[in-house]
Structure formats: C-alpha cells, structure tokens
Amino acid sequence: NAGVTQTPKFRILKIGQSMTLQCTQDMNHNYMYWYRQDPGMGLKLIYYSVGAGITDKGEVPNGYNVSRSTTEDFPLRLELAAPSQTSVYFCASSDGQGNQPQHFGDGTRLSIL
Amino acid sequence: QKEVEQNSGPLSVPEGAIASLNCTYSDRGSQSFFWYRQYSGKSPELIMFIYSNGDKEDGRFTAQLNKASQYVSLLIRDSQPSDSATYLCAVNQAGTALIFGKGTTLSVSS
C-alpha cells in the first residue's frame, strides 16, 4: 500500500531555476491537491484537480503550474524559483469531494537559495 | 475570508490526563470537519472526521461538533507521550478545498 508518493524528499534550488515536484497515488482517487506549509503555519492550498485533465487554482497559485494527464499523477511545476517558495510541499488525494478525508504524501522539503 | 482558528499552544498535559484541543471556524456553511496529527518533520495524518453535531468516539479520541457555536474539539483520553505532536483542524464547506488552522502543539509529559 504505497498511498501517495512524493519525490524528491529534499531539494535545494538556486534562485531562477525551475523544477517539478512529482506526486503519484495508487488509490484511484479522482481528487488531488498540492499544499505548502511554512514554519508554524497551516497548510495553504496551491492547486487542486478533480480528475484527469481538470485543474484549478487554490489560495496561493502564483509561481506554480500543474497538469493532470492521468488519474495517478499530479506534478507541480515551479518556474523561476524564488526564496519565498522555500517551504514544505505536500501532495494529497481524496476519494470524492471535500467532505472526504484527504490522504497525504510524505512531503518535499524545498529550499531556494 | 473563511478562517479556522486554533490556539497555537503549547498545550502541556501530564501522562494519563485528558487533552482538550479546540477549533473555531468562521463559515456557517461548513459541513465537514477533520482533525489531523502532525509529528515534527512528518506529514499530516488523519485522526478523526465528523459531519454531524454531537460526539464521535474512536478509541481514546473523541471529536465534538457544535455547529451553532461554530466550534469543533478533539479530546484525547489517557494521553501518552507518543501523542505529543501538532494537531491540525481542517474545515470544508460544500466544495473541494479544506481550510486548515495553524495547529495546536500538544506536549504530554511522562
């Protein structure tokens, strides 16, 4: 039971570089989410998807892009990395709409220097 | 703006005591309520969810919901040092996104 798998676990980027955070789930969940968590703060929604080919912005989407070509995968793309994007990123999935529990991956700790 | 408020703590309780964690929310239309536990450096882990007014029990955990007061709480009975973590309250209206509180840090001393 892999659940939600995120790669990489850690990454250091230089300002202006770009990268893709990978997320895959094996629970056949339609709903997937990307959050960021800054120290001492709750989780902020970046983007979400309600199914393959459908994505929408969350609370803090600026500087990020997503795609959802399959049910299993929901990668998050950072273009032109900035120090403000230093954070821990969590991917989650759920079986249904927001009234269903979300299951989280282990997270990616990203530092922009 | 929809908000979920939690006391950041730390909430300190001795081993074996009852820990009471509280959460208030601003959106009266909220329908689903979740408690997640997050150990330092780890991802959130679902502890409880509740949809209806009243109490819901699962082992040592009890979630309490009062929609009239816009208040949800989590009780942990017989607290153990392994319960020491940050507890996140999350609330959902009739949509997709969860709104998370900043979390309450619980410390259980042996």
Element (H, E) at A12: strand A10-13
Q: What does the mean pLDDT of chain A come to?
A: 93
Cβ neighbours of A103 in B, within 8 Å:
46
Using the predicted structure, report yes or no on whether residue A39 has a pLDDT greater than 90: no
Residue B89: both structure tokens together: 């309250």
pLDDT cut 90: percent of chain A above it = 87
Residues 12-51 of A with CB under 8 A from B: 31, 33, 40-45, 48, 50
- pLDDT (tens digit per residue) in A40-88: 788 999 999 999 999 999 999 999 999 999 999 999 999 899 999 999 9
Report which residue type is found at A48.
Y
pLDDT tens for the 110 residues of chain B, in order: 678 999 888 999 999 999 999 999 998 888 899 999 999 999 999 999 999 999 999 999 999 999 999 999 999 999 999 999 999 999 987 666 788 999 999 999 99
Q: State the average pLDDT over residues A99-112.
A: 93
Confidence at residue B88, expressed as pLDDT on a 0 to 100 scale? 96
Q: Do B49 and A50 touch (CB under 8 A)?
A: no
Q: Which residues of B touch A106 (CB under 8 A)?
A: 42-43
Cα–Cα distance, B39 to B103 (Å, whole number)? 11
Nearest to B98 among A56, A98, A107 (CB): A98
pLDDT of residue B6: 95
Q: Which of A48, A59, A101 sits opposite B96 (nearest CB)?
A: A48
pLDDT of res. B96: 67
Shortest CA distance to A49 belongs to which of A72, A24, A26, A74? A74
Contact between B22 and B62 (Cβ < 8 Å): no
Mean pLDDT, rounded, for A97-113: 90
- Please tell me the distance from the alpha carbon of residue B29 to that of residue B92, in angstroms, as a whole number: 9
Answer whether A42 sits within 8 Å of B4, measured CB to CB: yes
* Residue in A with minimal Cα distance to B39: A106
Q: What is the DSSP string of B31-90?
A: -EEEEEEE-TTS--EEEEEE-SSEEEEETTEEEEEETTTTEEEEEESS--GGG-EEEEEE
User: Under an 8 A CB cutoff, do A42 and B51 touch?
Assistant: no
